[in-house]
A and B are shown apart, each in its own frame.
Chain A
Amino acid sequence: MRVVLSNSAGLPLYQQVKEQLGTAILSGELGEGTVLPSVRALARDLRISVITTTRAYAELAAEGFIATVPGKGAFVLPLDSALVREQLLREVEGGLQAALDAARRAGLHREDLIQILDGLIQAEQYDAIQ
């Protein structure tokens, strides 16, 4: 299990923990049933506060990634395809919104954006062939 926190990421620590664990779970790196360290053990290892890890776990549990058993700890739940899809859709939306904001600042129009998107997809397909 790998969690690396950054002081300068600008993201609150609990969010960094949550996102890194979430990504690891989505990618399958943390498989279904994997037992996660307790909130206190994680807090001790990362040298952050217990409330921070508790919050990260709580949000992961609320979103269906993990389940916490009082007194026993937490473990990874099986990936629910609907859940995964919802999570990924949210990421797409977020990414596109960020792109839109940047585009507005750059003065780009919808057509320019679509051009860039096609270019990126093409580049990916090209890389995949290589």
Chain B
Amino acid sequence: MSSDLAFALRGVSAAAGNTFALRDVTFALPTGYVMGLIGANGAGKTTTIRCLLGMYPIDAGEIELLGHRAPEPVALRQDVGVVLDHTYLVGDWRLVEVERTLRPFYNRWDGARYRQLLDEFGLDPRAKVKDLSRGMAMKLMIAVALSHQARLLILDEPTSGLDPVSRDELIGIVGDFLLDEGHSVLFSTHITSDLDRIGDYLTILHGGRVVRTGTKDEILEAYRVVRGGPDDLDDRVGVELIGVRRTQTGAQALVRTEEADLLSGDVLVEPPTLEEIAVHIGARVPHRDPDHRADRRQPDSSMSARRVA
């Protein structure tokens, strides 16, 4: 049981209806760091998280969570805190009731911490879950996640729909959580600025596949954003223009760093921001497979099915 990986996905594929929600997804996070999961809506971020937590069955590959191979023992959930973009509690529960309800299930529930966090976040214990604003609801779920001494925090688009102040507060909370080097965080978002500074590792998803994974610096180094006149960026051999955007005054695209030299001298080549990487990769239209035939699930597929949970 290796404890140096917070989690790992290896060759994970998951079907959804007739197509694949995830295809051959492989990435891992060493313990003690933040992994940002970036992708447009529909890229597969939430499905990935569900598969990781055993909420969604996978059809191929293997998953490892906190050193345990899936299917993990149910007791492992003591160590995992989950925050989604919606509360998964009964709306009519008051925040004190939430604690009373969840406490019996956790060995290491820390009631004092829960109440302290509610206080820090400015949440009224007598308030009902359904009366919380979006930002407050997210903070409630964080309070719950942090109150049973979890080692791994999984955040699925926690900042979507949040005001900048709340988003900033969340970043601070993540930083506090990581003071313990045994703690790790998976943070999925389509708002790249969340991860600009605090992301250690990144995984970029597109169309259910991993486009790239590695440290944030590696990924920023792997691409260049190129800008030129409308005619400067043409499709030339050896250079893939990722997510090229053409207007009357110019064109802009993302290219792999090693291919950047192949472009003619008139273009401006710069290191990209995370935002530009996400935007261009997300805009990419697959040329070779317009009907997604390769992704369509065959009824007589011989892939071994591996049910999780």
Contacts and interface: CB of A to CB of B under 8 A. Distances in A.
Contacts, number: 43
Interface string B193-222: 000011111000000000000011100000
Given A13-B197, A40-B181, A47 B33 contact: no
Interface stretch (A48-56, A75-83, A93-101): A48-56
Given A49-B216, A51-B33, A51-B215, A40 B197 contact: no
Nearest to A5: B197
Give the interface size bracket for A toward B. Answer: 10 to 19
Interface residues of B, number: 19
B175 A44 contact: yes
B175 A47 contact: yes
Nearest to A12: B217
A43 interface: yes
A41 interface: yes
B21 interface: no
B34 A47 contact: no
12 contacts: A40-B180, A44-B172, A44-B175, A45-B175, A47-B171, A48-B198, A49-B34, A50-B33, A50-B200, A51-B200, A51-B201, A52-B197
Q: Which of A45, A49, A51 has the most chain B CB within a 10 Å cutoff?
A: A49
A47 B179 contact: no
Nearest to B198: A49
B251 interface: no
Interface of A: 12-13, 38, 40-41, 43-45, 47-52
A50 B86 CA distance: 28
B235 interface: no
B223 to A, nearest CB: 16
B269 to A, nearest CB: 16
B197 A47 contact: yes
Nearest to A71: B181
Nearest to B195: A49
A44 B179 CA distance: 7
A13 B199 CA distance: 13
Interface in B174-188: 175-176, 178-181
Contacts of A52: 197
B32 interface: yes
Nearest to B176: A44
Nearest to A43: B175
B165 to A, nearest CB: 14
A47 B175 CA distance: 7
Contacts of B216: 49, 51
Contacts of A49: 33-34, 197-200, 216
Nearest to B216: A49
A56 B180 CA distance: 19
A49 B29 CA distance: 14
Contacts of A41: 179
Contacts of A38: 179
Given A49-B34, A49-B216, A44 B178 contact: yes
Given A47-B172, A47-B198, A50-B200, 8 more contacts: A44-B176, A49-B33, A49-B197, A50-B32, A50-B34, A51-B33, A51-B200, A51-B217
A96 B20 CA distance: 58
Contacts of B217: 12, 51
Nearest to B32: A50
B40 to A, nearest CB: 23
Max chain B C-beta neighbours (<10 A), residue from A13, A41, A44: A44
A40 B179 contact: yes
A49 B218 CA distance: 14
The 8 closest A-B pairs by CB, nearest first: A44-B175, A51-B200, A49-B200, A48-B197, A40-B179, A49-B198, A47-B197, A50-B200
A44 B178 CA distance: 8
Contacts of B201: 51
A121 B137 CA distance: 63
